Amino acid sequence: MKVLLAEDTVDLNRALTAVLKHENYDVDTVFDGMEASEHLMVDSYDCIILDIMMPKKDGITVLKELREKKIVTPVLMLTAKAEVEDRVTGLDAGADDYLTKPFAIKELLARVRALTRRKTQYSSDDLSYQDLSLKSASFELGAENTVRLSIKEFELMQTLILHQGRLLGTDFLLEHVWNNDIDASPETVWLYLSYLKRKLKAIASSVTIIGDASQGFMLQ
């Protein structure tokens, strides 16, 4: 699973990155809020770990921005402050959980596992469409090159392949991919489709995603 870790304390950042990678998470590491925002605009993650106090842009601001863009990825906030007000501010901004420093690594891993627990059952079969291959065990999408998808990217691509030749409306995708999550919206669907379009280009596939919000979307 893919994790974005935003923590400006270098030693802690490196330690958490090493532990998460040891647990087989695919980790992108940044050291300030601006970098975190830039990553979130171009890639999809299964979990985001945000330190509240970061240079350039604090974690609360990053969190508010991603929720305003209808990114519903689970967020674990890290804070050096134990006051109730800080916890409330983070939760009100859209955080799913928080940890107060210092914390035990085992506890952080338990929180991340809870936030990334799969909520749906996937087809165990590998799928293909034209020059695309989608592997259910590794969440890899391949053509000339290969990339690893986040859970939602995988679910969305799987749905598009399983319904190939059919235009899928936004409401259909919100129901089948996001299980009618009240925080997900048509903007969420569009954002994840844009993630997949970029990844189709990255793997040099001849397949693209066509359509619009009024008619629906499909692979071509």
State the pLDDT confidence band at 118, using cuts at 50, 70 and 90. low
Locate 164 and state its tokens: 């190939």
Instruction: Calculate what percentage of the chain has a pLDDT beyond 90.
Output: 55
Cα distances (angstroms) measured from residue 98 to each of 9, 15, 21, 60, 217: 17, 18, 21, 12, 37
Cα 192 to Cα 83: distance, rounded to the nearest angstrom:
36
Could you tell me how many residues make up the chain? 220
Q: In the numeric block, which tokens belong to residue 183?
A: 């925080």
At 92 the pLDDT is 77
- How much is the average pLDDT of 105-127? 78
DSSP 168: B
The predicted pLDDT at position 100 comes to 86
For the cut 90, the answer to whether the pLDDT of residue 173 exceeds it is yes
* Highest mean pLDDT (candidates 28-32, 76-80, 151-155): 28-32
Per-domain residue ranges for the chain? 2-116, 127-219
CATH architecture of 2-116: 3-Layer(aba) Sandwich (3.40)
Beta pairing, strands 127-129 & 132-135: antiparallel
Q: How confident is the model at residue 144 (pLDDT cuts 50, 70, 90)?
A: very high
Q: Which one is predicted more confidently, 118 or 5?
A: 5
Token pair 């990825």 is found at 73
Q: Looking at residue 83, what is its pLDDT?
A: 59
Of 90, 174, 158, nearest to 124 (Cα)?
A: 158
pLDDT, tens digit (0-9, with 9 covering 90-100), for 43-57:
889 899 999 989 999
Judged against a pLDDT cut of 60, whether residue 119 lies above it is answered with no
Q: What's the rounded mean pLDDT across residues 75-87?
A: 75
> What is d(CA 108, CA 99) in angstroms, rounded to the nearest whole number?
7
Show the 3-state SS of 96-136: CEEEECCCCHHHHHHHHHHHHCCCCCCCCCCEEECCEEEEC
- Ramachandran quadrant class, 216 (left: phi over 0; alpha: psi -120 to 50; beta: rest): left
> Which is it for the CA torsion 44, 29, 6, 57, positive or negative?
negative
Domains 2-116 and 127-219 belong to one CATH topology = no
> Which parts of 3-147 fold into alpha helices (H)?
10-22, 33-42, 59-68, 84-93, 105-116
Express each pLDDT in 181-214 by its tens digit. 887 888 889 989 998 999 999 999 999 999 998 8
> What pLDDT does 117 receive?
73
The percent of residues in the chain predicted with pLDDT above 70, rounded, is 94
CATH number for region 127-219: 1.10.10.10
Q: What is the pLDDT of residue 42?
A: 84
Instruction: Give CA–CA dist 53/48, Å, rounded.
Output: 15
| Digit-coded pLDDT (tens) for 23-35 | 999 999 999 999 9
Report pTM: 0.75
Question: Which tokens hold the place of 19?
Answer: 């532990």
